[in-house]
């Protein structure tokens, strides 16, 4: 089998058809797919730089299929130390296998003469855009806010897979791993799920998600207003008496039910509901309400290198009214004296502190609470911002507001 | 799949390998595995007997490119070059071997199509080394001054 075929197929789904990487990856057909996964992530992580490399080697920008073959071949040579003759051979054979025989000599010629020493990357914000794949507006915002640290924040790569154990962690800790500040939560370089995943001994959950849950106070009745796939609801069910998990999309609602069943959660209730629409029976019915709103996901780029690449400012801005509407509506569900939590997996202020500021302005009932978390973070005006470079790749945000009694 | 490279002393390295009869999926799988094994071992060439398969199949990875030769034969050999050589089946050693400087080959690809090719210099050395494997010959049989690599 051609080494580049599976990376080509999956990357075409992501870059050509706009599929989410995590979903496209589940369609991989190879049994041993370690190298393909490495190529797929690498091509996305180094998208901008590889684009420059292609420009340095061609007179005219190639058609999409050929561009993709170049991206895979150049990544394999420059970042995986694949011998050039092998990369050229696989690229040419793939070109032929895709019925583009007449382009095979072109692919061959470009890859044989490609010289990485001729690739020039710009400096400053344009350079950071290329190296991080984040759109310019996000690069500017991070540079304005964090100065030189913006580079580290935006280019942090995944350190591995975060696993949260309920039991049996001692059987896995002889493998290479990093400790996190949370008990039972570790980052593994390699981790293949086994039968104990299905018996609920452990689950895969971002350390950022665990951090958000850690600031939620134990309480009687908690609403998780945007709960799918259900990781936070599951974790919070272990410290709250009752958790109601709401989700708008029916197929995602099912995921929460499956997650509860797998982890043995019995005090959770799944509800398909639109959290922007007021439900009278929920008015002041919860001691705690978590609004982990749909967001850009820009804080998960280390795990999802396709996100900063495929999502532009219009996409992000279109989410903002939804985020505000959910927060505003769900604020009404909090009992007097109870807590409202606002969380995202974003690093952008407009999705984070700005949303809380707007709510506080409209709702003098709520007061921001000072919170702390053992996972490294930056204190913002109203909450905590976890940043990828110091928080195991997780760029999450959380704020806690109390409704006056 | 990366296969294990057998070491000197294994009888398969001394057998005369059989020509390939069927250009089928089994051959393709063997060549795919040999490619993986060669990349992982960072070698310049690999013959099927080195992965324990007594068939006339070799692959060569040199600056000129990556090549797969099935049932290769020499048309002619010219000139002479003398230089160091090593082998993935004789770990940790190298020796000085005299080889032709230019060779012409006839061979088949994995689909059974026939080709010819001229190899020069190091490429020619690699081709000669690998084709010797198909006749049960190791470079240590021809080399002078075989010694352990530092």
Q: How confident is the model at residue A1 (pLDDT cuts 50, 70, 90)?
A: confident
Average pLDDT, chain A: 95
Question: Is the confidence at residue A33, as pLDDT, over 90?
Answer: no
- What is d(CA A37, CA A79) in angstroms, rounded to the nearest whole number? 14
- What is d(CA A314, CA A311) in angstroms, rounded to the nearest whole number? 8
A81 in contact with chain B, both atoms CB, cutoff 8 A: no
Domain assignment present for B46: yes
- What is d(CA A228, CA A211) in angstroms, rounded to the nearest whole number? 17
Looking at residue A28, what is its pLDDT?
A: 86
**Share above pLDDT 70 across residues of chain A, in percent, rounded to a whole number:** 100
Q: Are A88 and B65 within 8 A, CB to CB?
A: yes
Looking at residue A117, what is its pLDDT?
A: 93
- What is d(CA A234, CA A397) in angstroms, rounded to the nearest whole number? 19
Domain assignment present for B112: yes
A82 in contact with chain B, both atoms CB, cutoff 8 A: yes
Q: Is B64 a catalytic residue?
A: no
Most A CBs within 10 Å, among B66, B68, B109, B126, to test the A interface = B66
Q: How confident is the model at residue B150 (pLDDT cuts 50, 70, 90)?
A: low
Looking at residue B104, what is its pLDDT?
A: 97
Domain assignment present for B2: no
A237: Cα separation from own chain's centroid: 23
Question: Is the confidence at residue A120, as pLDDT, over 80?
Answer: yes
Least Cα separation, residue B22 to chain A (angstroms): 18
Chain A hits for B32, Cβ within 8 Å = 1
Q: How confident is the model at residue B123 (pLDDT cuts 50, 70, 90)?
A: very high
**Domain with B70 in it:** 11-148
Which residue, A377, A366, A363, is CA-closest to A340? A366
Domain assignment present for B75: yes
Looking at residue A31, what is its pLDDT?
A: 76
Least Cα separation, residue A58 to chain B (angstroms): 21
Looking at residue A27, what is its pLDDT?
A: 87
Q: How confident is the model at residue A159 (pLDDT cuts 50, 70, 90)?
A: confident
Question: Is the confidence at residue A70, as pLDDT, over 90?
Answer: yes
Length of chain B: 150
Q: Are A394 and A388 in contact (CB under 8 A)?
A: yes
> What is the CATH classification number for the domain harbouring B80?
3.90.45.10
Domain assignment present for B1: no
A108 in contact with chain B, both atoms CB, cutoff 8 A: no
Helix (H) or strand (E) holding B28: helix B25-41
Looking at residue A147, what is its pLDDT?
A: 94
Domain assignment present for B5: no
Length of chain A: 405
- What is d(CA A393, CA A386) in angstroms, rounded to the nearest whole number? 9
Q: Could you report the predicted ipTM of this complex, rounded to two decimals? A: 0.76
Looking at residue B125, what is its pLDDT?
A: 97
- What is d(CA A331, CA A284) in angstroms, rounded to the nearest whole number? 9
Q: What is the mean pLDDT of residues A20-38?
A: 87
Most B CBs within 10 Å, among A1, A35, A83, A92, to test the B interface = A83
Q: Are B121 and B101 in contact (CB under 8 A)?
A: yes
Question: Is the confidence at residue A219, as pLDDT, over 80?
Answer: yes
Instruction: Look at A28-32, A114-118, A337-341 and tell me which has the smallest mean pLDDT.
Output: A28-32
Q: What is the mean pLDDT of residues A24-53?
A: 91
- pLDDT tens digits, one per residue of A348-398: 999 999 999 999 999 999 999 999 999 999 999 999 999 999 999 999 999
Looking at residue A308, what is its pLDDT?
A: 94
Number of domains in chain B: 1
């Amino acid at each position: 089998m051609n080494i580049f075929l599976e990376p080509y197929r999956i990357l075409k789904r992501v870059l050509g058809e706009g599929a989410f990487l995590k979903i496209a990856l589940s369609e991989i057909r190879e049994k041993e797919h370690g190298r393909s996964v490495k190529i797929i992530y690498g091509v996305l992580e180094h998208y901008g730089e590889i684009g420059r490399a292609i420009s340095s080697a061609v007179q005219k920008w190639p058609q999409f299929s050929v561009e993709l073959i170049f991206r895979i071949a150049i990544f394999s040579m420059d970042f995986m130390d694949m011998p050039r003759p092998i990369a050229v051979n696989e690229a040419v054979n793939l070109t032929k296998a895709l019925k583009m025989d007449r382009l095979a000599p072109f692919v061959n010629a470009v890859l044989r003469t490609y010289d990485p020493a001729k690739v020039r990357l710009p400096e400053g914000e344009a350079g950071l855009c290329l190296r991080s794949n984040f759109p310019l507006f996000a690069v500017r915002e991070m540079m304005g806010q964090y100065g030189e640290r913006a580079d580290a924040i935006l280019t942090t790569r995944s350190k591995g897979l975060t696993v949260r154990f309920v039991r049996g962690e001692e059987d896995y800790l002889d493998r290479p791993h990093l400790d996190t500040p949370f008990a039972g939560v570790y980052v593994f370089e390699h981790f293949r799920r086994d039968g104990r995943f299905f018996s609920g001994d452990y689950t895969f959950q971002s350390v950022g998600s665990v951090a958000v849950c850690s600031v939620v106070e134990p309480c009687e009745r908690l609403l998780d207003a945007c709960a799918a796939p259900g990781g936070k609801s599951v974790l919070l069910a272990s410290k709250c008496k009752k958790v109601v998990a709401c989700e708008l999309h029916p197929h995602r609602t099912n995921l929460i039910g499956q997650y509860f069943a797998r982890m043995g959660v019995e005090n959770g209730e799944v509800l398909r509901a639109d959290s922007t629409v007021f439900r009278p029976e929920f008015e002041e019915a919860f001691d705690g309400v978590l609004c982990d709103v749909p967001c850009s996901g820009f804080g998960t780029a280390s795990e999802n290198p396709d996100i900063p690449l495929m999502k532009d400012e219009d996409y992000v801005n279109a989410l903002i009214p939804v985020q505000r509407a959910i927060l505003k509506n769900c604020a009404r569900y909090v009992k007097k004296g109870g807590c409202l939590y606002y969380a995202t997996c974003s690093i952008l202020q407009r999705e984070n502190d700005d949303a809380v500021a707007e709510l506080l302005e409209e709702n003098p009932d709520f007061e921001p609470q000072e919170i702390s978390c053992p996972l490294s973070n930056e204190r913002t005006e109203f909450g905590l911002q976890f940043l990828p470079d110091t928080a195991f790749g997780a760029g999450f945000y959380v704020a806690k507001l109390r409704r006056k009694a | 799949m990366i296969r294990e490279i057998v070491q000197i002393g294994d009888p398969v390295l001394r057998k005369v390998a059989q020509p390939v009869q069927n250009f089928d999926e089994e051959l393709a799988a063997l060549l795919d595995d040999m490619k993986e094994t060669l990349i992982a071992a960072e070698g310049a060439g690999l013959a099927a007997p080195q992965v324990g398969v007594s068939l006339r199949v070799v692959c060569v990875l040199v600056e000129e490119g990556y090549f797969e030769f099935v049932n290769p034969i020499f048309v002619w050999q010219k000139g002479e070059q003398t230089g160091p050589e090593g082998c993935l089946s004789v770990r940790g050693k190298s020796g000085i071997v005299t080889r032709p400087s230019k060779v012409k080959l006839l061979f088949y690809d994995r689909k059974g199509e026939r080709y010819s090719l001229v190899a020069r210099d190091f490429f020619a050395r690699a081709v000669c080394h690998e084709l010797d494997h198909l006749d049960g010959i190791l470079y240590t049989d021809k080399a002078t001054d075989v010694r352990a690599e530092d």
